[in-house]
C-alpha cells in the first residue's frame, strides 16, 4: 500500500484519492531513495512507499476470497469424504462395480469399513476431527503396507492418492469441518 503526503498536510493513502487518472503515478525517486515524486492534479506529491503487510497478502484477493474460505473448507471436506466413501462402498458393497473382491476380515476389508464409516462422517461433518484422524492414519498405513514396498517413488507405486488423502485428512483434523457441517450446527445451538 502506498501513502501520499503533501507538504503541510496529513499523510493520505492512495486508496483514499480514488481510481483511474486521479491515482498518483510514480515518476522517480528522490536522492535519498525513500520517496517517489509524482503529480496529482497540479500539485507535486511525495509518495512514501510502505511495504505491504505480509500477513494480509493481496488486498483485492483477500477481500473477495476470504469470506469464502470456510465454505470451501466444507466443500473440500464433502468432496474428499464422498470419494473416500466410494472406495469403501466399492470394496464392501461392490459399487461402483469392480472385478476385485475383498475377502472378509482381511486388512483390505478393515480399511474398507474405515473408509465407509469415516467417509459418511466426513460428508455430513459429524465427529469430523476424530474421523479425519482415523482416515489419515488409515491412509498412512495403506501407503506403507500396500504401496511403498512396490517402489520408492509414489507415482510408480500408485500411492500418490494415499499420500494426498493422508495429508488432506490430517489438515481437516486441525482445520475442522467448516460451517456446513453437523459439528458446526451443534456448536451454534449449544
Q: Find the DSSP H helices in 3-149.
A: 14-17, 59-65, 69-93, 107-124, 128-142
Q: How far is CA 161 from the centre of its chain?
A: 17
pLDDT of residue 168: 97
CA distance 86 to 108: 14
Task: Tell me which residue of 174, 169, 147, 187 sits closest to 85, measured CA to CA.
Answer: 169
H or E element, residue 36: strand 35-40
Rg (CA), the chain: 27
Tell me: the pLDDT tens digits for 107-150?
889 999 999 999 999 999 999 999 999 999 999 999 999 999 99
pLDDT of residue 65: 82
pLDDT of residue 43: 61
pLDDT of residue 46: 56
pLDDT of residue 124: 97
Beta pairing partners, 39: 44
Grid cell digits, residue 186? 451443534
Q: Where are the domains of the chain?
A: 2-49, 61-183
Q: What is the pTM of this model?
A: 0.66
Task: Tell me which residue of 178, 151, 149, 154 sits closest to 164, measured CA to CA.
Answer: 154
pLDDT of residue 10: 43
Intervals of the chain under pLDDT 70: 1-58
Question: Phi/psi at 157 (nearest 5 deg)?
Answer: -95, 0
CA distance 92 to 119: 13
CA distance 166 to 110: 17
Amino acid at each position: 500500500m502506498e501513502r501520499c503526503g503533501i507538504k503541510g498536510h496529513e499523510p493520505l493513502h492512495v486508496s483514499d484519492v480514488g481510481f483511474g487518472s486521479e491515482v498518483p503515478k510514480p515518476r522517480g525517486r528522490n536522492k535519498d531513495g525513500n520517496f517517489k515524486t509524482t503529480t496529482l492534479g497540479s500539485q507535486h506529491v511525495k509518495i512514501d512507499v510502505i511495504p505491504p503487510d505480509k500477513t494480509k497478502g493481496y488486498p483485492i484477493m483477500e477481500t473477495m476470497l476470504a469470506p469464502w474460505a470456510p465454505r470451501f473448507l466444507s466443500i473440500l471436506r464433502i468432496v474428499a469424504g464422498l470419494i473416500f466413501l466410494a472406495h469403501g462402498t466399492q470394496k464392501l458393497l461392490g459399487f461402483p462395480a469392480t472385478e476385485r473382491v475383498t475377502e472378509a476380515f482381511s486388512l483390505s476389508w478393515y480399511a474398507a469399513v474405515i473408509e465407509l464409516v469415516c467417509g459418511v462422517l466426513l460428508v455430513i461433518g459429524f465427529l469430523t476431527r476424530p474421523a479425519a484422524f482415523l482416515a489419515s492414519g488409515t491412509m498412512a498405513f495403506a501407503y506403507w503396507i500396500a504401496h511403498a514396498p512396490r517402489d520408492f517413488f509414489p507415482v510408480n507405486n500408485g500411492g500418490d492418492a494415499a499420500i494426498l488423502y493422508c495429508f488432506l485428512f490430517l489438515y481437516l483434523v486441525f482445520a475442522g469441518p467448516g460451517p456446513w457441517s453437523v459439528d458446526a450446527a451443534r456448536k451454534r445451538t449449544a
